[in-house]
A and B are shown apart, each in its own frame.
Chain A
Amino acid sequence: MSAVNTVRHLRRAVHGIRWYVRELSGEAVYDRYVAHARSCDPDAEVMTRREFERSRTDAREADPREGFRCC
């Protein structure tokens, strides 16, 4: 395997891990929300990240059953 190939594989692996961690930790939720809102209407008004994250914790406050973890 050539060095170029190794670098390409490595870069892809790092990219994949970063994607997985962002998805799993919920960091990517905001991007998904914006993409979803824009997909229906490109000029849709979207919440800022700050507003969005606040609305998420507020929702959890209102119904704690979401995201409950088991013993």
Chain B
Amino acid sequence: MPEPEATPDTRRTGLTPKSIAIWSLVALVGAAGWGVLALSRGEEISAAWMLAAALGSYAIAYRFYALFIARRVLKVDKTRATPAERLDNGVDFHPTDRRVLFGHHFAAVAGAGPLVGPVLAAQMGYLPGTIWIIVGVIFAGAVQDMVTLFFSTRRNGRSLGQMARDEIGPFGGAAALIAVFAIMIILLAVLALVIVNALAHSPWGVFSIGMTIPIALLMGVYLRVLRPGRVTEVSVLGVALLLLAIVAGGWVAESSWAGTFTLEPGTLVIWMIVYGFLASVLPVWMLLAPRDYLSTFMKVGTIVLLALGVVIALPAMKMDAVTDFATRGDGPVFAGSMFPFVFITIACGALSGFHSLVSSGTTPKMIQKETQVRMIGYGAMLTESFVAIMAMITACIIDPGLYFAINSPAGVVGTTVQSASEAVANLGFTITPDALAQAAKDVEEASLLSRTGGAPTFALGMSEIFSAVIGGTAMKAFWYHFAIMFEALFILTTVDAGTRVGRFMLQDMLGNVYKPFRQVSWKPGVWFASAVVVGGWGYFLWVGVHDPLGGINQLFPLFGIANQLLAAVALAVCTTLLIKSGRLKWAWVTGIPLAWDVAVTLTASWQKIFSEDPRVGFFAQRDKYQAGIDADKVLPPAKSLDDMHTVVTNSTVDGVLSALFAILIIVVIADAGRVCLKAIRNPEGVRLAEEPHTESKLVAPAGMFPTREEKAELVAAGLGTGGGMRKESAPGESQGDVPAGTGAA
């Protein structure tokens, strides 16, 4: 297939002296940030430098690299009607204002992921993680999101799995499907584990998160019965009740009820599993839909607040730039050296395969113009990356000694502040037992020791930042629990929604064997499939809580590998499509991130399977503990032979899963490679599943702010800044009633 012709709009435009001056300044700011980050050793530096490095780099990447990909590589065509325009049905296909769609897309891609990964990766210092978050998003993550969005838009919003089947073949397609299912299970288990670790022995947290259930039910009834569709008013009511629940949590923690709400991790797991099952079989309107509104409001609001807080407080970072764990690979949070494990641990925020599921499917059905893929695909991912940078800042501004006391497995830190202080000293950091006790007291928790999973660390950093701006030390406990609530809320929503998606996929697969399974109204099928999915993640959650080696330590690398595996699938589909559509000379745009991602993922899988270091390799770990059992010896951190057996079972399961993921990656890559080679050898024989060109009648700017030419075009068409159909062609279809003042929204 010949390379598509450039559209008239993709001509390169010369830079004016003014824009050269502005962009030079932006480059200088970014370079200054990087310079200070890279060169300072042993002194505390301000988080301002990290913000400068990140924002400067994002601006340059968005202005130049993303524009290059849009114009030269993808050749986005503003004369081509998008599925939203062609298939407009007013409901799921509908041209949506780019600023609204940006909000939708961002809310759909950003969740707990970018808040957890960077916190864990901070054990190697702030520098490795920060470099990966910024460089990774610019060259891999945002590119993946944008290119997937583009190709899916050209295919009426087909999903990643469907595109894999159409363009690579049934084999690669099936592998992609299994990958998505397996990832879903691990993802839900890890997210649930984060919440269990944050809520264990915390009556305040358990009470306030528990209250979200009646609040959501109330909102659900309001929307269903009282005032259907009035989302804003019910969300405002819900958020007010939520804040009340957080405050009330503090009262409960000090009252005689505290005991009732103080739960062991094991008990929380059971509650979580029961909740997950019930929530996923209840009607959507009761819990899921209202929770979704709540968590979106909280998410967007808190992220904006956090950004303001960081900019106003500009805290100093206390963590080292690079710790010894980066090279030695024996860190307590997760084992393994910087390459590949930093790149596995930080998935969301740098490169997240999961985004390709949102970028294909929902968003392409709503995009007004192909030219907007840069703003929505690339731009939203840059914003998520910024969230990850903020998470890195929150982890690095708290005392490193405290960081390691919170994030090391219980087997390492023990149960008292004295033992924790000693353990932290063994790791090469210092914190006094008093300081540990005081930190817990400040946020009104019984203990902060070994609260792994990232959420408590993030909450602590956030409370530090917020209390510096509003309320001082007195408000610390409130902000801490506010942050826990904020993370727990959308993790619980994901647990519910993810279980439903997993169930849907399972029902679809089982439908091949027994037809009724495919009917979503067949209750036994729904219950059975839900139970299987909940049982799947529930198993890993249970195991994660009871693993003497620490669940996060064991499971998080698996989650990272799984997420990066999905990214490999998405990038392989993108690269295949670039080659098949005659863009071979540009295939490196997704090909290089693909090669990097595969190298990282396969190295990590290799080490997880074959490493002889029992801290890293699952099977080496299994052998070590099996030998212990055979010799009737209990090896620490296990405390009994039962613990030893737990370790053996877990490491076997985890090792087998690692191997399965590695095989899936190889299958997808090999199948994609075969298709690419065929397309290169015989370009004439390529068949693309792309929709044919239809002339667009819609006028809309490409970016957030219309350029001068775009403004002239909008005025000529009689439209506002939101764009819409040309007046003469479709009267009454105009969206030009968008108020002009929303340009800055």
Contact = CB atoms under 8 A, between A and B. Distances in A.
Contacts of B296: 25
B493 A69 contact: yes
Given A21-B232, A24-B103, A36-B88, A70 B283 contact: no
Interface in B495-516: 497-498, 500-501, 503-504
Contacts of A33: 90-91
A48 B337 CA distance: 60
Contact of B223 (A52, A53, A65): A53
Q: Binding site of B, secondary structure by majority: helix, strand, loop or mixed?
A: helix
Nearest to B490: A69
27 contacts: A12-B739, A16-B745, A19-B738, A20-B100, A23-B96, A24-B103, A25-B293, A30-B229, A35-B90, A53-B228, A56-B91, A57-B285, A64-B284, A64-B500, A64-B503, A65-B159, A67-B362, A68-B108, A68-B358, A69-B111, A69-B497, A70-B110, A70-B111, A70-B348, A71-B191, A71-B348, A71-B352
B284 A60 contact: yes
B214 interface: no
A13 to B, nearest CB: 5
B228 A50 contact: yes
B284 A71 contact: no
Interface in A6-26: 9, 12-13, 15-17, 19-26
B501 A71 contact: no
B677 interface: no
A62 B520 contact: yes
Closest 10 CB pairs of A and B: A36-B90, A12-B741, A64-B500, A16-B742, A71-B113, A53-B228, A25-B231, A16-B741, A23-B100, A57-B285
Q: Binding site of A, secondary structure by majority: helix, strand, loop or mixed?
A: helix
Interface string A29-71: 1101101110100000000011011101110111111111111
Contacts of A35: 90
Interface string B30-73: 00000000000000000000000000000000000000000000
Nearest to B233: A27
B243 to A, nearest CB: 19
A65 B361 contact: yes
Contacts of A67: 108, 292, 362, 497
B91 A70 contact: no
A1 to B, nearest CB: 15
A22 B352 CA distance: 29
Contact of A69 (B283, B494, B733, B745): B494
A71 B112 contact: yes
Contact of A32 (B90, B228, B292, B498): B90
Interface of A: 9, 12-13, 15-17, 19-27, 29-30, 32-33, 35-37, 39, 49-50, 52-54, 56-58, 60-71
Given A37-B90, A62-B520, A65-B159, A20 B362 contact: no
Nearest to B295: A69
Interface of B: 88-92, 94, 96-97, 99-100, 103-104, 107-113, 159, 187, 191, 223-224, 228-232, 235, 283-285, 288-289, 292-293, 296, 348, 352, 354-355, 357-358, 361-362, 490, 493-494, 497-498, 500-501, 503-504, 520, 563, 732-733, 738-742, 745
Contacts of B288: 60
Contacts of A58: 284
B100 A70 contact: no
Contacts of B113: 70-71
B94 A70 contact: no
In this complex, the member of A24, A50, A54 whose beta carbon has the largest number of chain B beta carbons within 10 angstroms is: A24
B455 to A, nearest CB: 13
Nearest to B520: A62
Given A12-B740, A53-B223, A22 B90 contact: no
Given A36-B90, A39-B733, A64-B497, A70 B355 contact: yes
A6 B94 CA distance: 35
Nearest to A21: B232
B732 A71 contact: no
Contacts of A26: 231
Nearest to B504: A64
A70 B229 contact: no
B504 A57 contact: no
Contacts of A30: 229
Contact of B352 (A54, A64, A70): A70
In this complex, the member of A22, A58, A67 whose beta carbon has the largest number of chain B beta carbons within 10 angstroms is: A67
Contacts of A39: 732-733
Nearest to A10: B741
Nearest to A64: B500
A17 B745 contact: yes
B154 to A, nearest CB: 20
Given A61-B520, A70-B352, A71-B112, 17 more contacts: A13-B741, A16-B739, A20-B100, A25-B235, A27-B231, A49-B228, A53-B229, A54-B228, A60-B288, A64-B284, A64-B497, A64-B501, A64-B504, A67-B292, A68-B362, A71-B113, A71-B354
